[in-house]
Amino acid sequence: MRLLIVIVNYRTSGLTLDCLASLAPELRDLSDVKVVVTDNLSKDDSVDTISRAIADRNWSWATFMPLPENGGFAYGNNAAIAPALASTDKPEYVLLLNPDTVVHPGAIHELLKFMDAHPDAGIAGSRLEDPDGTPQCSAFKFHGILSELDRGIRMGWVARLLRRWTVPQAIPTSVSRTDWVAGASMIIRRTVFERVGLLDSKYFMYFEEVDFCLRVARAGFQCWYVPESRVIHLVGAASQLSGPRHRKRRPRYWFDARRRFFVKNYGILYAGLADLAFATGFALWRLRVLVRLKDDCDPPRMLWDSIRNSVFLRGTRV
């Protein structure tokens, strides 16, 4: 198999079908490509809707895989990747693709062309865009203590001092090496899985791609951003936790994932310093919001939730 594309659906059957429809013309020009849609026990009409659409539209390249539980993003992807890697027809590459994406013509081809030409690249990510073509930040630096301070404090001169550690980087206009790319459209070489294993399914949602890219980097592989591969990403449409229209309280699993990332990869002391850096910076930011009447775009109760979900109060529990 040349390429396995995995899409994880959870109560987003309409978005998933739009994503599959955008893939159909792409796959006419590509051979040996298989698409697997897994469903994380949606308990809505997803199973019937997606199964029927695949059959009615004669998408012979697509397979639907209902799962017995809602285990999260990594779980849903691993459910399709693991049997493919164990089969006699192992994929050369695996593409993780969000259901809330629409691929532009040539997007898949550009990723494959790049990976073929760069054998040291273990991972590559697409340029994610708004529907009007505005690029989204999808190439990032790894999280650390200083990046957590920057994330919390949001002060101009501090941001300039900490620029090299800021997680969201300036959006590259050409192919660029980066620490990690968004999992909404991420292609992975098979040998990466053979070396480092699958995604960590103990992450329910968020930070799983950061953790995976860090493991891959430590194994000696490179991660790249490929802007020629353009993919529309309807931010927040699948998770309903992000995007300009969403100002909801962060769920516990977001904090669990963040805490797991820091403790697992850097140890509990480092995680505690990262928690302290964010809480201190964010408290100063909230004071400025109150004093200067700045626009409040933060999730409700973010400071309290960050403290009560820190390693100081939760330890290493996830």
Give 158-170 pLDDT, tens digit per residue.
888 998 899 998 9
Model confidence pLDDT, tens digit, residues 42-77? 999 999 999 999 999 999 999 999 999 999 999 999
Is the Cβ–Cβ distance between 194 and 93 less than 8 Å?
no
Query: Residue 201: inside a domain, yes or no?
Result: yes
pLDDT at position 246 is 54
Q: What CATH number is attached to the domain comprising 217? A: 3.90.550.10
Q: Tell me, yes or no, whether 84 and 189 share the same domain.
A: yes
pLDDT tens, position by position, 166-203: 999 899 999 999 999 999 999 999 999 999 999 999 99
End-to-end CA distance of the chain: 36
Expressed as residue numbers, the domain containing 47 is: 3-136+171-233
Rounded CA gap, 273 and 293, in Å? Answer: 29
184 and 312 assigned to the same domain: no
> 113 with 200, same domain?
yes
Report which of 71, 40, 67, 37 is spatially closest to residue 201, judged by C-alpha positions: 71
The pLDDT of residue 239: 55
Specify whether 25 is located in the same domain as 127.
yes
For the chain, the average pLDDT equals 93
Nearest to 184 by CA among 245, 138, 253: 138
Separation CA 17–CA 28 (nearest Å) = 17
Q: Which of 189, 204, 233 is the last residue of a domain?
A: 233
Query: How many CA atoms, within 13 angstroms, populate the side-chain half-sphere of residue 230?
Result: 13
What residues form DSSP beta bridges with 102?
Answer: 232
The domain boundary residue, chosen from 233, 259, 283? 233
C-beta atoms surrounding 114 within 10 Å: 18
Neighbours of 177 (CB within 10 A): 11
